[in-house]
Structures are given as C-alpha cells and as structure tokens.
Amino acid sequence: MTKPIVAVKNFSLTIGDKEIVKELNFEVMPGEIFAFLGSNGSGKTSTVRSLLGIYQPTSGTLHVNGKTLSPETASIVGYLPEERGLYTRSKVLDTMIYFGELKGMTRDAARDFSVSFLERVELSDKANTKIKKLSGGQQQKIQLGVAIMGNPKLLVLDEPTKGLDPVNRKLLLDIVDQLQKEGTAVIYITHLMEEVERLAHRLLILKDGTARAYGTVAEVKKEFKSKSIEDIFVQIYKEKSHEVTHV
Amino acid sequence: MSKLQTVIRHEYLTIVRQPSFWILMTAIPVLIGAVIALSFFGNQSSVARIEELSKDLKNVSIIDDSGLINKKVVEASGLTLSPTDQTATLREQVQHNEKEALIVFPSNLASARTYQVYLSTNDLTRSSTVTALGENILKTSLFLPLGSAEIIALAQNGASATLTVYEDGKETGGINEYIAPGLFVVLFYIIFAFSISYMLTSVSEEKENRSMEMVLTYVKPRTLIIGKLLAVSLVTLTQIMFFALLALIALLVLRQTGNAIGLPLGIDISKIVFDPMTIFFGAAFLIVGFLMYAGFMTATAAAAPSTKEANSFSSIFFIGAFIPFYFITAIATDPENPIVNFLTYFPITSPVVNLIRNTVDNLGPLQSWISLIVMIGFMLLSILIAVRAFKLGALEFNQTIKLSKLFKR
C-alpha cells in the first residue's frame, strides 16, 4: 500500500488568542493533485506554513514523507506562496541559484537546472537581467522555477495562476501536469473552481479552520448532491458552522 | 556550502554589486577632496583677482579722520590721502559715478572698530576688492611701527604652538595620543552612515517584495539574521579597507610632500601613539556597537510592514547616535557627571559615548571592561529582540508588530 506523502493528524493551531485551525486531518498521496480550498482567512496558509515547519502546531502532527519538517529539512518541498516575490535588485540567474542552494542543491546543479528551466519558459535571454525589469508574468515563471528546483516530492502552489495570461497559465499548468505524472504530489490552493474540476484528484474545503468537505472530487460532489465544486463551495460558505463531512 | 554561508554570500554580493554602493563609497572622499581643492584654488584665484583689481583701483579716495593711517602705505598703493573736509563732496562724486570708491576712516575708529566704504557700483568683486584694500591699508599702517616684515607677518598671522604634555612626571604624546582611538569614533560614524542602514533595507525589502516567505521555507530565521549580520559586517570591513587604503595614499602623499601640507592642532603623523589597550577597547566598542545597532535595525525592519515605516521607526536610533555630541564637552571633561554616566550605559548612546571616552582616556580600565560587558549584554538583547521580531513579523506583511506582543512570553 502506498504511503501518503503528507499526513496531517489532529492538527490545531492557535496564534495569540485566535484559534486558526481546529483538529484538522487529511492526507495527500504521491502523484496526486490535492486541491486545498477555502476563502481568505480560513486557515489554508497557516496550515501550509505549519506543514513546512515555519509555524509550530499547537497540537497534532504534520508529517511530510514521514517526518516533521523544519526549514532545514524542507528541501523535499517546493513552495510557491501566495505572498510571493523575488529579490528585485538581483539578476534572474543569481536569484535562482541562490534559492537552489538554499534548497540544498550544489551551485553547479542549481545553475544547470536554472539554465534549462529558463530555456523551457523562453526566458534564456533574461538570465542576466535584474528581476525588477521583468514583467509580472515573467517574474511568476521565475517563481515557479524556484519552487520546482531540486525535484521536490511535494509541491505546494498557492494561487499559482493568479495574474497570468492564458498562454502563461497553460505553460504553468503543463509543467504542473508533467511533475504530477512524474510522481510529485501537488497541494493546489486556488479560488478558481474550474481549475479544481480540471486538475484535482481530491480536495479539502476549509472554513474557519475546520474541514467541511474532504475526498475525491466525485465523492464530494456525490455527498453534497451537486454537479459543481463551485456550488458546493458557495453552499458551505453560506451555511452556519457545522462539523466536517468525511467522505 | 552551508545555508549560513549561502546567505552571507548572497547578502554580501547583493550589496557590493550595486553600482550605488561604489558610487557612494568613492563620492565621499572625492567630494572632500573636491571641496578642499576648490577652496584652495578658489582662495588663490580670489587673492590673485583682488591683487589684479587693486592695480586698477586708481579712482579711489581715502580720508583719514582717525590719524592711524600711514600716508606712505596709502601712497605705496598708488593712491593719495584726501583732506577730511572733502568727505561730502567725494561721497557725492561716488554717488554720481564720477569716482569709483571712497574709504573713510573715522575719528572713533579705535573704539568703534568700523570704517565706511562708499561704492559707485553693486559689483560684488569690486566691493570685496575695495574692502580688502581698506583692510590692507589699515593693518599695514598699524603694524608698520613694529619694524621688520617678519615681525609684521608674525603679528598678523600669529604662531603655532608645539605642545609638550607631562603626566605623572613623564612626557605624553599630547593630541597625538587621541588620533588612533579617535579613528574608531570616525569609523563608527562611517559605518553608521553606510552599513547599519543596509541591515534595515535588507530585511524590510525582503519583506516588502514578498520574497521573505520563500526564503523562510528553507532557512531558519536565526540563520537568516546571523547571515545578514555577518554579510553586513563583511561589507563594513570592505568599506573600512577601502577608506584605509585611501588614508594610506593620503599619508604617503603627505610624507612625499615633506609635511608641506600642515596638519591642524599640532598633529604629527610620526608621533601618533598606538596604545594596545585603547586600540582594543576602541575596536571592541566599535564592533559590539555596530552589532547592537544592526540588531535593533533588524528588529525594526521585521516589525514594520514597509521600508517607509521601518525608516521612520529607525530614526530614533540615528538620534541616539548623535545625541552624545550635544554633551561632548561634559563627556570629554567631566566623567563623573550623572548625565555622562547615564549616556555611557544607555543602549543607543553607549557606543558613541564609550568611543569618545576611550579616545580622551577618561574611562579607566575597570570602567572600560564594565562598559564593554554592558554593551555586549545590549548587543545580545538586540539580536534576541531581532530574532523574536523576525519570527513574529517577517510574515506579517500588512501590520506592525506591537511591542507588547514582542515581549510576551
């Protein structure tokens, strides 16, 4: 039986006086695209930060590949945060190599990966350009490149297509698709439900730090007697709080 | 390469690769050199211009009511003294541009110490020429009775004093004892002006451009802060070496010119005293003070949501670094003064106050050690606060971290 790459058990997080996440449980399997959904402030980002070891859980466990992660051991994860950006005064290639080294790659390996990635996303000519001189879409490609450096076993993408034009959106989704086929698990955070319908194998909808729907796309649709994830999402957010529906 | 080394390398190169870094570094000595050169050549050309214009000043009248002006001196300038009863007539001639200028030395010149100059034009050069002419005639007339040109020059320009200072029956280096430790005060301000702010911008820009979360995924906050601190320290070392090189070149030039360019206050390069303990404490106060300020800057940057707000908050540290200069006399001469003692141990003033007191040697070995230990305590505290503020505020992109939250267990 395949072991989950991510196993979150009874995870709760309180920051200050605020209970951000309550008794959350979920698993992500290798090679699957797992949609992690919820409105702003529902606890998605805090959960991801806890998974990466940036935040310490108040209770429960968050394991990636069987271990609790810390920034020192998070190199098996590629992360594209929602609040993302790059060193605007640095050059593209220097920035990519720096992140590659932070992820534990050698300088040469980081350089080789960066050069081939820039070629793939048609930005080879920008390797020695300062980040601030790139367009928003070009910067986002570089951010994705940084996230997927070092062949991560788990890729966490927080609204990866936000602000991208259709061409670049397709390019990004193709890269995600390829990585998933190669066995990388993807936690995909988005507000675009058509992307969930198209990409996701399983999903979790979070509201007020509590899981409200969890299972395969088909299972969740069946449970909520709905043909659309968007309708289910709206329904959950219109409801008054109630306990999780495990499918 | 460890993550710490990677951070240090990246932070160091990010700063020193900026053209603005080198422009700023070279701009300061170039500007100082340019100001000195301009002032030197400007003065020379002004003197030459005045001398040149003086030759043309033939249509100037001089009236002496004071009896202090020597007729021969006036005649040596190619001019003549006019009778005192012609004052009104000559003034009218100047008014109607029939005469270039009139200089009147009044009867009460000795007590009032003023004389009148009437000019037919608003030309500033002409005005300074005529004034200089009047001044020259007056001074030369007064000094003439002294006799030789050497004595007149001595009376006009004074003489420089060569100090010999004794302490406990032994001759000391005098002002030359203050030069080496005093350099640490200068270095502190150079570092303060250039490097400390790098710490602030390094953290606040990372936060503002949202690269912080991507970095913190793979690096512990403590590693990142220490890496930044060490990188900024290396930048500072680069700056010190650069300025030291320039100073060495200046020194060689001075020696080549055989001290033709005199140093002020009786400073003699060959007599500069290098006392090991003073140098040690100067270096220690400098390094610890630098790290303490860097820690406070990091905390400020991490706690503030933007570079703009971080800069506003950080002004308190800049004020702290300059406050000691309001009390410089007390710090240098009255070490028992309660204000001086307070400033010696108050965190944000302690580096400068201790550096100044170390320079003028009024700290004493025991108090130097106590000051250093207290400053190390503040430095560690500032780094702890920085790490804490960083953990709390690094990923808070839109709000300022409250002080109460910072110190809450």
Which domains does chain B possess?
Answer: 3-28+173-406 (no CATH), 57-153 (3.40.190)
For residue B218, the chain A residues in CB contact (below 8 A) are 71, 74-75, 99, 102-104
* Contacts within 8 Å (CB) and 24+ apart, B151-154: none
Interchain CB contact of B218 with A (< 8 Å): yes
Nearest chain A alpha carbon to B202: A87
d(CA A36, CA A33): 10
Instruction: With cut-offs at 50, 70 and 90, classify the pLDDT of residue B216.
Output: confident
Mean pLDDT, rounded, for B212-236: 85
- Enumerate the β-bridge partners of residue A35: A188, A203
Q: Please compute the mean of the pLDDT values over residues B318-333 and round it to a whole number.
A: 88
Average pLDDT over every residue of B359-382: 90
Facing B6 at nearest CB: one of A54, A79, A102: A102
For residue B216, list chain A residues with Cβ-Cβ distance below 8 A. 54, 71
Among A20-24, B282-286, B316-320, whose mean pLDDT is lowest? Answer: B316-320
Tell whether B3 lies on the interface with A, counting CB pairs under 8 A. Answer: yes
Q: Among A18, A102, A156, which would you mutate to test the B interface (most chain B Cβ atoms within 10 Å of its Cβ)?
A: A102
Nearest residue of chain B to residue A143 (CA atoms): B214
Whether residue B211 lies within 8 A of chain A, CB to CB, comes out as yes
Residues B201 and B220: their CA atoms lie apart, in Å, by 19
Beta-carbon separation of B214 and A84 below 8 A? yes
Contact B214 A146 (CB under 8 A): yes
- Percentage of residues of chain B with pLDDT beyond 90: 16
Name the interface residues of A facing B (CB cutoff 8 Å): 16, 49, 52, 54, 70-72, 74-75, 77, 79-81, 83-90, 94, 98-99, 101-104, 107, 143, 146
CA proximity to A109, closest of A90, A122, A96: A96
CA angle in degrees (0–180, nearest 5) for B232-B210-B14: 30
Asked if B209 lies within 8 A of A86 by C-beta distance, the reply is yes
Buried b (16+ CB within 10 A) or exposed e, A63-97: bbbeeebebebbbbbbbbbbebbbbbbbbbbbbbb
CB nearest to B18's CB, from A16, A85, A89: A89
At residue B146, does pLDDT exceed 70? yes
pLDDT for B301: 82
* B91 CB within 8 Å of a chain A CB: no
pLDDT for res A247: 46
CB < 8 Å to B210, chain A: 81, 83-85
Are B294 and B196 spatial neighbours (Cβ–Cβ below 8 Å)? yes
Distance CA B78, CA B55 (A): 8
Instruction: Please give the pLDDT value at position B47.
Output: 53
For residue B357, give every residue at least 6 positions away whose Cβ sits within 8 Å of its Cβ, in sequence order, or none: B331, B332, B335, B340, B344, B363
Average pLDDT on B258-282 reads: 71
pLDDT (0 to 100) of residue B404: 64
What residue in A sits closest to B14 (Cα-Cα)?
A90
Q: Where are the beta strands (DSSP E) in B50-141?
A: 60-64, 81-82, 101-105, 116-119
Condensed to tens digits (0 to 9), the pLDDT of residues B74-108 reads: 887 778 889 888 899 999 998 998 888 899 999 99
Mutate to test the interface with B, among A18, A46, A95, A98 (most CBs of B within 10 A): A98
Least Cα separation, residue A161 to chain B (angstroms): 17
Please give the interface size between A and B, counted as residue pairs whose CB atoms are below 8 Å apart: 75
Q: Which residue reads 């820690």 in tokens?
A: B295
Q: B404: nearest CA in chain A?
A: A16
Residue B213: the pLDDT is 78
Confidence (pLDDT) at B407: 60
User: Rounded to an integer, what distance in angstroms lies between the CA atom of residue B181 and that of residue B188?
Assistant: 11
Interchain proximity B217–A77, CB inside 8 Å: yes
Query: Do the Cβ atoms of A81 and B214 come within 8 Å?
Result: yes
Rg (CA), chain B: 31
B1·A102 Cβ contact <8 A: no
Digit-coded pLDDT (tens) for B160-191: 766 677 777 777 766 677 777 888 888 888 88
Q: Is B206 on the interface with A (CB under 8 A)?
A: yes
- A102 contacts B3? CB cut-off 8 A: yes
- Does domain A6-85+153-246 match CATH 3.40.50.970? no
Residues of A in contact with B206 (CB under 8 A): 87
**Is B395 in contact with A83 (Cβ distance < 8 A)?**
yes
Q: Which of B208, B218, B307 to mutate to test the interface with A (most CBs of A within 10 A)?
A: B218
ipTM entry: 0.81
* Residue of B6, B210, B219 lying closest to A83 (CB–CB): B210
pTM over cut 0.80: no
Tell me the C-alpha to C-alpha distance, in Å, between residue B36 and each of B27, B32, B86, B337: 14, 6, 46, 38
B residues 15..34 contacting A (CB < 8 A): 18
pLDDT, mean of residues B265-290: 81
* B404/A contact by beta carbon, under 8 A: no
B370-395 in b/e form (b: 16+ CB < 10 A) is ebbebbeebbeebbebbbbbbbbbbb
Q: What is the pLDDT of residue B401?
A: 62
What pLDDT does A10 receive? Answer: 93
**Cβ contacts of B211 on chain A, cutoff 8 Å:** 84-87
In the predicted model, is pLDDT for residue B46 greater than 70? no
Which residues of chain B neighbour A83 with C-beta distances below 8 Å?
A: 210, 213, 395, 397
Taking CB atoms and an 8 Å limit, are A87 and B213 in contact across chains? no
Question: What are the strands, taking DSSP E only, across A75-144?
Answer: 77-80
Is there a contact between A144 and A175 (Cβ–Cβ < 8 Å)?
A: yes
- Contact indicator for A52, A79 with CB cutoff of 8 Å: yes
Task: Please tell me the distance from the alpha carbon of residue A114 to that of residue B192, in angstroms, as a whole number.
Answer: 37
Average pLDDT, chain B: 81
The candidate with the shortest Cα–Cα distance to A193, out of A37, A26, A33, is A37
Interchain pair A71, B216: CB under 8 A: yes
Judged by CB atoms closer than 8 Å, whether chains meet at A79 and B1 is answered as no
Structure tokens at A221: 């649709």
In this prediction, the residues of chain A whose per-residue pLDDT falls under 50 are 247
Q: Distance between CA A147 and CA A157 in Å, rounded?
A: 8
